[in-house]
Structure 1
Amino acid sequence: MRPGSDGLRQLLADAWERWARRCAELTPDQWSTPTRCRPWDVAALLAHVCPTAAMFDELDAARIDEDALVTDAAELLRRFNAPGGVAHTGADDLADQAVADAAGLTPEAAASRFSECAQILRSAPIADDVVLRYPVVGSTTMKVIAEVALMEATVHLLDLADAVGGIEPSPEALAAVRDLLIAVPDPTAAVEVLAGRAAPAAAVPAIR
């Protein structure tokens, strides 16, 4: 079952705290270790996923008094990852930006950013009815943004663990992200794949 707003807030804060602890322990060699998210090394992976306190101000500034056009995180991911969607058309630019941003980041700075943002999140409830402007889809809810952020933090934490070890997501975060990602493919295709009736390519990968 996908968690509610308060559960999301606690899981995301916990994920960021796990990132903070591991970042604080990274050695120079680990910082430059290649990851399976090519062409990123650990530094670029961190630059991609590391939040900033300014992000919360940006979210507040994006609030609008309208109905959200997308109210489900699985639908948001489905649109982003559709053929020709931004997950594909913008992939190269996203990869290049992370590499560029990594040049100005250190393990200590990344740890501080993760820790600070986790503290802010723990003190800032997520309201289901807050609607924000959002790229590509027009608008969505704060809950959807938090659910996607948890997915990103969890999947990339697995990428970090694969590269340098010493960290793993919480079982609760893994379960929440599993339930989100399995909701992205067509339900019939997903059931047939999981039941061994169809080849995995019919439903996975659910996201790029």
Structure 2
Amino acid sequence: MSETLDAFRREAQSLTDAAATFSEDEWHAPTRCEPWTVRELLGHVRVAIAWLPDMLAAAPPPRAEISAAEYYRPDARFSSRTNATRVDLARAHAAGYPTGAALLRDFTTVWRKADRLCRAEPSSRVVITRHGDPILLSEFLVTRVLELAVHGLDLADAIGREPWLTPSAAEVVHRLLPGSPSRPDAGFLRKATGRAPLTADEEALGIRRLTLG
């Protein structure tokens, strides 16, 4: 679990460092994740990470039942209704801060707390997701690294910046993408998450696109 946590910390810090340079106009730029602006998309990433403390505070279930890849299975968790709730949560959270910089300070506090709490847990720790799935904490952390990595690309693309994807996050994401290069780069990650089209050769490799909200 330590390698995944290290990737989580590095990718979260990389996003934090990049976002610290955003102008107030850039915070209000639209993103491909409609209807979110840059600011609201960071609010979504913050919400996605903020589930961790409550998950760790709850009693652990006896065993894990799904993997990180199975977390992204196409069921009710990615339905129109659930996606609408996801959109509203992010927008409501972002609206609670007067500036993008203030939201960023909150995001930084949240991910650092999550990192600290997770490091106190054993590798065998099982948690329950908000969708009711028992999963190893180490596997759930893979999904949080993906959130940081993929939405980091969305944020960078929205304001015309070079991606800040870290090599350690790319290594973690590789576990979720059968047929991908040994270390997916930003371009490949866009393709594997439906943000850019796959070539015929890439489709022939059997690359499975993840179901994302």
- TM-score when normalising by structure 2: 0.75
> Which of 31-40 and 170-179 deviates more?
170-179
Equivalent residue pairs, number: 190
- For residue 43 of structure 1, what is the aligned residue in structure 2? 39
**Which residue, out of 95, 104, 115, partners 1:103?**
95
Matched residue SS, 2:138? helix
TM-align CA RMSD? 3.0
Deviations 1:93-145 (A, max 9, x none): 21122222221133223332343345441574253211122233431111121
> Which of 132-141 and 145-154 deviates more?
132-141
Contact in 2 for aligned 1:21/1:111 (Cα 8 Å): no
Deviations 1:30-64 (A, max 9, x none): 01100111111101101100259965531222232
Aligned counterparts of 2:158 and 2:84: Cα–Cα separation in 1: 21
Aligned counterparts of 2:27 and 2:34: Cα–Cα separation in 1: 15
Gaps spanning 5+ residues in structure 2: where?
180-191, 193-197
**Which residue, out of 28, 31, 35, partners 2:27?**
31
Aligned counterparts of 1:17 and 1:101: Cα–Cα separation in 2: 20
**Which residue, out of 134, 139, 163, partners 1:139?**
134
**Identical aligned residues as a percent:** 26
Aligned counterparts of 1:195 and 1:150: Cα–Cα separation in 2: 28
> Which of 157-166 and 134-143 deviates more?
134-143
Contact in 2 for aligned 1:52/1:113 (Cα 8 Å): no
Aligned counterparts of 1:54 and 1:76: Cα–Cα separation in 2: 17
Contact in 2 for aligned 1:69/1:137 (Cα 8 Å): no
Matched residue SS, 2:127? strand
> Which of 23-32 and 105-114 deviates more?
105-114
Gaps spanning 5+ residues in structure 1: where?
184-189
Contact in 2 for aligned 1:20/1:111 (Cα 8 Å): yes
**Highest RCO, 1 vs 2 (Cα 8 Å, sep ≥ 6):** 1
Mark the CA change 1:93 to 1:56 in structure 2 (over 3 Å): closer, same or farther: closer
Is 1:74 aligned to 2:69, yes or no? yes
Contact in 1 for aligned 2:29/2:158 (Cα 8 Å): yes
- For residue 129 of structure 1, what is the aligned residue in structure 2? 124
Q: Which runs of 4+ in 1 moved over 4 A?
A: 51-56, 197-200
1:1-208 to 2 correspondences below 5 Å = 5-50=1-46, 55-70=51-66, 72-78=67-73, 82=74, 84-89=75-80, 90-105=82-97, 106-120=99-113, 121=115, 124-125=118-119, 126-164=121-159, 165=161, 167-182=163-178, 196=201, 204-208=208-212
Aligned counterparts of 1:197 and 1:101: Cα–Cα separation in 2: 38
Matched residue SS, 1:132? strand
Amino acid at match of 2:156: A
Aligned counterparts of 2:94 and 2:69: Cα–Cα separation in 1: 29
- TM-score when normalising by structure 1: 0.77
